[in-house]
Amino acid sequence: MGRKSVADQRRIEIIQAFYRCVITLGFSRASIRAVAREANVLPSTLHHYFKDRNEMITETVAHFTKQISKGFTPTENGMASEDARLSEGLEYIFGSAMINSEYTGFFLECMAEARHNPEVKDSVARLFARFRENIMEHMGGIAAFKRLNPSKQKMLASMIVALHEGIELQWFADPAAVSLEDAIAFTQTLMEKF
């Protein structure tokens, strides 16, 4: 393993430790010391890999955005029917890969931090932009979506993100009050009408 890959792996380990700290402690208590303890390194090691806490936050959001995006892939070679493609996308968006206590808790912490931290706000904005892009790429295999002009495609993707975020917040507050399966079915019905 080369020197660069060891450094890359260490950065990922620190990012994962930071993520775990935010999940268990919240942003306010996920200090450099707490993250170092979780990563089993000295605090000075964190400063070697990240210039400051904001860079660690930004890198963590970027890392998990990539992880989420990897799971958002159309059926191999785009050979699925349009209905299957739509169902597949919605099942991913409203499924446990994207709506779960850890991810949702982490991103709620990000949103709270973003109110006062422009760097975190920019990271969250990039996350939402990538989410819209994922939706547009996935929906690109559906004839009705392709017929929309680019601004309407983007707006439809934004509406799907809004539905996801609203359902996710309600689910997080009270999982018994919101059925993710119903969210998939209802959103599919809405999408079929466009």
Taking only the tens place, the pLDDT of each residue in 52-109 is: 888 998 999 998 888 888 877 655 545 568 778 888 888 999 998 899 999 899 999 9
- pLDDT value of position 76: 54
Q: Looking at the structure, do residues 118 and 45 belong to the same domain, yes or no?
A: no
64 and 157: one domain? yes
Domain count, the chain: 2
Q: Are residues 81 and 103 in the same domain?
A: yes
pLDDT (0 to 100) of residue 85: 80
Q: Residue 171 phi/psi, 5° resolution?
A: -60, -45
Q: Are residues 173 and 96 in the same domain?
A: yes
Residues 99 and 65 in one domain: yes
What are the residue ranges in the chain where pLDDT is below 50? 77
100 and 4 in one domain?
no
pLDDT at 141: 81
Q: 6 is in which domain, residue-wise?
A: 1-50
CATH number at residue 115: 1.10.357.10
Are 146 and 79 found together in one domain?
A: yes
9: which 2 tokens? 């792996």
CA atoms within 13 A on the CB side of 45: 17
Q: DSSP assignment of 90-154, as one string? A: HHHHTSTTTSSHHHHHHHHHHHHHHTT-HHHHHHHHHHHHHHHHHHHHHHTTSHHHHTS-HHHHH
Check whether residue 26 and residue 101 sit in a common domain: no
Q: For residue 75, what pLDDT is reported? A: 53
Same domain as 67, residue 35: no
Rounded Cα distance between 137 and 149, Å, is 14
